[in-house]
Amino acid sequence: MATKGMIETIIKLHKDYCCLEDPLPDLMSWFEVHTHGAHLLNHPSHLSICGPSDFANDRLGKMIEAISWNASVTTFSDLSLQSKTNQEKGIGTRIIYVEKKLRHSEEYERLCQLMRDGYLKNGQTASREPAIVTPVVIIGNGGLIDRKIINRTIPLYATPFHKSVPAFLFSKVENIVIEAKALIEKFWKDDLPTILDRYDTFPRIDWLKNQDEQSWLPILAPAKAYSDLLDQPVFFENMLTLAKKMVTSRKMEESAIPLEQKVLEAVLAYVEEKKPLKGRKSNSQDDFYYGPEMFEFVKTMLLQPELRKEEISEILNDHQVVKDTWRPRFKESETKVEESHRGKKKCTKEKTEDKITQPTCYALDKVQLTEALKTYL
């Protein structure tokens, strides 16, 4: 059966030549199959791989580049080349190398912003056609911290190697790669209805709630289809166990992060993403203010709706991030429904009234915000 041959070929390819130990070979096997079908599922997952050294990361990247469809390699020095990116067509896999630790560097902020702005949408942002998001593999020594990125990314942490890392030579596995890709293309062509059925009807799993489903469903749903087609439930069970282990591990790591750090990270993401209000002129220059919706953004990003505005404000003030506060007057329209009875008929009438509000807005010091985050490294 083609499906069984495809799985055996991919696993052989990864286990024989991938320098990292489990769970990477199995996960990369499914990720490779998934990236080829990303335009069909329209929901690709991203990988963030943290290797033990730049040398190991380079070897791993070379392998991923060889097995991926239409792979394009980018370093942070190339991230500003928007025109080059927008000329690329078709589904592929973008591999981004990080030469140093990310965290709160300027390059990291630029990467987050470009991903939010549709940097990886293959030049379709200006057209009316649906945007196609390119699967991304980020390789480096540091981990991702931006909630809007990590929530759609599967993080992998490679342990130090017990033996030397061999150089990856594509010529050694070229025939296996060609065979694997041919089998994958045949699988998607012949079994697409089965895959889409599993994708649309995949059951709700408690430990995959919220954003984790976005990362794992495009991998787990095809795994379920493979298991059913082969009549071998062990394939899906193994992948489900691996997913649970990685999701649980990530959530445990996140629970250990101080609330102050989470809030500062979320506020920085808001500042990078949202357009501020233009405030009062001070010393011949304009300050830009952020309104009360900033607090709702932070609570939504942290998945903590019970977090109070006062707690967030206190954290910002403690870290000397707030430069100034301002209470501008906003005129908001409020629609009220009035009911009246005329004889036996009940009449309703909408009445619009203007309401003046004065919410507190904040001018934030972005430099101080970045410096404050560095204290948590």
CA 367 – CA 195 distance, rounded (Å): 48
In the predicted structure, residue 122 carries a pLDDT above the cut 60: no
CATH of 2-254, one of 3.40.50, 3.90.1570, 1.20.1630, 3.90.1690: 3.40.50
- pLDDT average, residue stretch 192-201: 89
The stretches of 130-233 forming alpha helices (DSSP H) are: 147-150, 170-200, 212-230
pLDDT at site 81: 45
Sort 353 into a burial class: Cβ within 10 Å, 0-12 / 13-18 / 19+.
exposed
The pTM for the full model equals 0.69
pLDDT at site 37: 81
Return phi, psi of residue 19, to 5°.
-80, -15
CB 86 within 8 A of CB 108: no
Listed range (5-19, 205-219, 240-254) with the worst mean pLDDT:
5-19
CB 125 within 8 A of CB 93: no
SS3 93: coil
Beta strands at 285-290 and 361-364: parallel, antiparallel or unpaired: antiparallel
Q: If pLDDT is split at 50, 70 and 90, which confidence band does 377 have?
A: low
The domain limits of the chain are 2-254, 259-374
pLDDT at site 315: 92
CB 117 within 8 A of CB 133: no
* Rg of the chain on CA atoms, in Å: 25
CA 170 – CA 167 distance, rounded (Å): 10
Listed range (76-80, 110-114, 362-366) with the worst mean pLDDT:
76-80
In the predicted structure, residue 363 carries a pLDDT above the cut 70: yes
CA 159 – CA 20 distance, rounded (Å): 8
Share of the chain above pLDDT 90, in %: 2
pLDDT at site 83: 37
